[in-house]
Chains A and B, each alone.
Chain A
Amino acid sequence: MNSDKRHIVSLLVENEFGSLSRIAGLFSARGYNIHCLSVAPTSDDSISRMTLVTYCTDSKASQLMKQLDKLVDVINVKDLTDETHIEREMLLLKVKSNLKQRDELKRLADIFRARIIDVTDTTYTIELTGPTEKILSFIDSLGKIKIIEQVRSGALGISRGSGSLEIKK
């Protein structure tokens, strides 16, 4: 109850300028961290969907939900952590790959069902999608292969089953 735990939060917000900074500002003003955050438009132009991950106690998380809900631009908010949900993250990784390493990299990519999406004489660029643990295991498995650049989308979350984050009436 009193120890920090990973919380993944889904939000529907008005797609207006300032919405993102209201949410980011709330985190800094009230002393919460944002581990990762993703924002993108939805099929309704006026609404953006956000997923964010933060580490805090359950009671701080419940207070955070109320504070987020209080923001005028927030249409709906839900802590997905304790319900069955699906999480995905995307990784784009540029690594050094000399001739000797190429086979090994290809094999690793196959094992993790990653795709090599760009090749040069000296580098591979790899795309991988999956839950955060899978992304981290893949990066771990690279061993001594030199990572030149690493881009992660941050977690995206959606609840399992027929339920959805709705526009509350």
Chain B
Amino acid sequence: MKLSGSEIIIESLKQEGVEYIFGYPGGAVLHIYDALFAADKIKHVLVRHEQGATHAADGYARACNKPGVVLVTSGPGITNCVTGIATAHMDSIPMIVISGQVSRQYVGSDAFQEADATGITRPICKHNFLINDRESIAETFRKAFIIATTGRPGPVIIDIPKDLTDPNVKIHFEYKKNIKIRSYKVKTSESDEKIKQAAELICSAKKPMIYAGGGVILGKASNELTKLTKHLNFPITNTLMGLGAYPSSDKQFLGMLGMHGTYEANMAMHNCDVLLAVGARFDDRVTGDTSQFCPKAKIIHIDIDPSSISKIIEVDHSLIGDTKKILKKLLTYTNTSKNGINKDALDKWWKKINSWQKKKCLSYKKSNKVIKPQSVIETLHKITKGRSFVTSDVGQHQMWVAQYYKFDKPNRWINSGGLGTMGFGLPAAMGAQLAFPKEEVICVTGEASILMCIQELSTCLQYGLPIKVVTLNNRYMGMVRQWQEFFYEGRYAMSYMDAIPNFAQLAESFGHVGMVIDKPSNLEKDLSHALSLKNRCVFVDVITDETENVYPMIMSGKGHHEMHLAPSANEDIELA
């Protein structure tokens, strides 16, 4: 088969089973777009800004565990992708970004719309390629997909000069699936001996704790994690990225841990004697002061990325490889362990944990005058029975979703955990909705975040995406305001959002349904109505209490046991 460079690109994507491309055309990719125009099977989603394309592809990947694909032009096309690529990189999301480049004879001449795409993206991606000859296009695409989707996943950029996509130059095409990349190796299996040792350590625990992160979801290991946790009857916490990896409604689940984690999860971390960390990377928002992190615990760490081991916290026992396989074997070996689980000690430990749970650290003062943001999330959870896909932007609303929307399934909670990218939520919701057209997708956002990618409401109309946008509108960049209240003596420097648009009208001008909810008494009724409009994108502007803060909170530089609880619930903080 003889094909042009552009046709090879499209054919390669077909071979990889790509169903959607999120993109925006421009000079350097016009040949590719022309080939795409003729192609069936692959659907193109035209975004309104390239940042939106990357977040949409990212949201798609997070929802369905398949790599998201982006196609953009050279220069501003690829520079606009930088935030989205870095977002995916920080959360290890598989993504392929194809960027056009100026023709080879112009590279390096400061040509129109020229930017050093591989240079700019090098530190924020798993790998990138600048294709130099037509013959290597197919192989490069195969390599890119292998690298993006195996091991610890991540974004891969393919930069391709325009002349290589010339429709008039055709070469032989063959897509070889089995290629080796000699410099790329992924360790997927751990030795049985090391897993057995870990199992013995786990069984020896008197005060065990499981701390599971996004790696469980990326490794499709939720079932294995759940089985092991239930078998052991151990308490478990999830990181922000790991929510849904273990069912939140289960009694063994202690909630999220870390800066805005629950009292019980953080206290259990601080007091445990054996910690099993699974697919988590000891992020600073999780550990707090590293010198006080799990001071009494032997730590076992399961991860596919060897560089995650002992990066932040020195661990006692590492298991490097595929999380799913390792968890499966751990279940077997804990079952056949010589000593078995110490049931008496575990009972005592659960009693202690139950006493921490009695703090009810997520309780908040209800009001019938102003809408409490927490109640919006609780109401959403109630109406949707916790089954929706929920995306978010970054800030207070993100933490409230993490705390109050109890995710029971993996891949349902889609947020920018590592990079903390405002503007992520709406385009990510588009990706999730396209991956699951029949499911309910809600973007919970703030009035500040939503304005960073609001243009994508236009994309939602073009593709009939019935996303529900719920804005917790408190007129402030809430998390910034909260930090200014705590650490800057209430000097709210530039965090007040003056001149906020009328979101309901704005949404209507984009062709959607716009709503405002400003009374607590209307909250459930109006939210239910919004969610009942199955075929429409609905923008719900919820006017919330502007003074509300996210609690509990560990101030930076403090340990897990030094949490601040909400003032109303804060009678006495019990130290370990």
Q: Does B558 contact A (CB under 8 A)?
A: no
* Total chain A interface residues with beta-carbon distance under 8 A: 21
Closest Cβ of chain B to A89, distance in Å, is 27
The complex places the Cα of A167 from the Cα of B183 at a distance, in Å, of: 8
Interface string of A12-23 (1 = CB under 8 A from B): 011001100110
Q: A168, B185: Cβ atoms under 8 Å? A: yes
Q: Which of B118, B127, B183, B311 contacts A63 (CB 8 A)?
A: B311
- Which residues between 347 and 370 of chain B lie within 8 Å of chain A, taking CB atoms? none
Q: Does B119 contact A (CB under 8 A)?
A: yes
Q: A72, B184: Cβ atoms under 8 Å? A: yes
Q: A70, B307: Cβ atoms under 8 Å? A: yes
* Total chain B interface residues with beta-carbon distance under 8 A: 21
Closest Cβ of chain A to B18, distance in Å, is 21
Residue of B nearest to A26 (CB): B123
Closest Cβ of chain B to A20, distance in Å, is 11
The complex places the Cα of A67 from the Cα of B126 at a distance, in Å, of: 12
Q: B182, A167: Cβ atoms under 8 Å? A: yes
Q: Does A111 contact B (CB under 8 A)?
A: no
Closest Cβ of chain A to B55, distance in Å, is 23
Q: A73, B183: Cβ atoms under 8 Å? A: yes
Q: Which of A25, A69, A72, A168 contacts B127 (CB 8 A)?
A: A72
Contacts of B76 in A (CB 8 A): none
Q: Does B181 contact A (CB under 8 A)?
A: yes
Q: A74, B183: Cβ atoms under 8 Å? A: yes
Q: B306, A69: Cβ atoms under 8 Å? A: yes
Residue of A nearest to B124 (CB): A29
- Which residues between 276 and 329 of chain B lie within 8 Å of chain A, taking CB atoms? 305-307, 309-311, 314
Q: A29, B123: Cβ atoms under 8 Å? A: yes
Q: Does A59 contact B (CB under 8 A)?
A: yes
Q: Does A6 contact B (CB under 8 A)?
A: no
The complex places the Cα of A25 from the Cα of B311 at a distance, in Å, of: 19
Q: B119, A13: Cβ atoms under 8 Å? A: no
Residue numbers of B with Cβ under 8 A of A are: 118-119, 122-123, 126-128, 130, 147, 181-185, 305-307, 309-311, 314
Q: Does A75 contact B (CB under 8 A)?
A: yes
Closest Cβ of chain A to B348, distance in Å, is 36
Contacts of A73 in B (CB 8 A): 183
Contacts of A74 in B (CB 8 A): 183
Which of A13, A18, A59, A72 has the most CB atoms of chain B within a 10 A radius of its CB?
A72
Q: Which of A14, A18, A167, A168 contacts B122 (CB 8 A)?
A: A18
The complex places the Cα of A63 from the Cα of B306 at a distance, in Å, of: 9
Contacts of A22 in B (CB 8 A): 122
Q: Does A5 contact B (CB under 8 A)?
A: no
Contacts of B182 in A (CB 8 A): 75, 167-168
Contacts of B122 in A (CB 8 A): 18, 21-22, 25
Q: Does A66 contact B (CB under 8 A)?
A: yes
Contacts of A167 in B (CB 8 A): 182
Q: B181, A63: Cβ atoms under 8 Å? A: no
Q: A70, B305: Cβ atoms under 8 Å? A: yes
The complex places the Cα of A75 from the Cα of B122 at a distance, in Å, of: 18
Q: Which of B118, B126, B184, B309 contacts A18 (CB 8 A)?
A: B118
The complex places the Cα of A145 from the Cα of B123 at a distance, in Å, of: 45
Residue of B nearest to A17 (CB): B130
Contacts of B307 in A (CB 8 A): 63, 66-67, 69-70
Closest Cβ of chain A to B315, distance in Å, is 12
Q: Which of B123, B130, B306 contacts A25 (CB 8 A)?
A: B123
- What are 5 A-to-B residue pairs whose CB atoms are below 8 Å? A22-B122, A25-B123, A59-B314, A66-B307, A72-B126
Residue of A nearest to B181 (CB): A72
Closest Cβ of chain A to B388, distance in Å, is 36
Contacts of B311 in A (CB 8 A): 63
The complex places the Cα of A74 from the Cα of B184 at a distance, in Å, of: 8
Contacts of A66 in B (CB 8 A): 306-307, 309
Contacts of B130 in A (CB 8 A): 17-18
Q: Which of A14, A18, A62 contacts B183 (CB 8 A)?
A: A14
The complex places the Cα of A13 from the Cα of B185 at a distance, in Å, of: 14
- Which residues between 36 and 69 of chain A lie within 8 Å of chain B, taking CB atoms? 59, 62-63, 66-67, 69
The complex places the Cα of A63 from the Cα of B147 at a distance, in Å, of: 21
Closest Cβ of chain A to B432, distance in Å, is 29
Given contacts A18-B118, A21-B122, 5 further A-B contacts (CB under 8 A): A66-B307, A72-B126, A72-B181, A74-B183, A167-B182
Contacts of B183 in A (CB 8 A): 13-14, 72-75
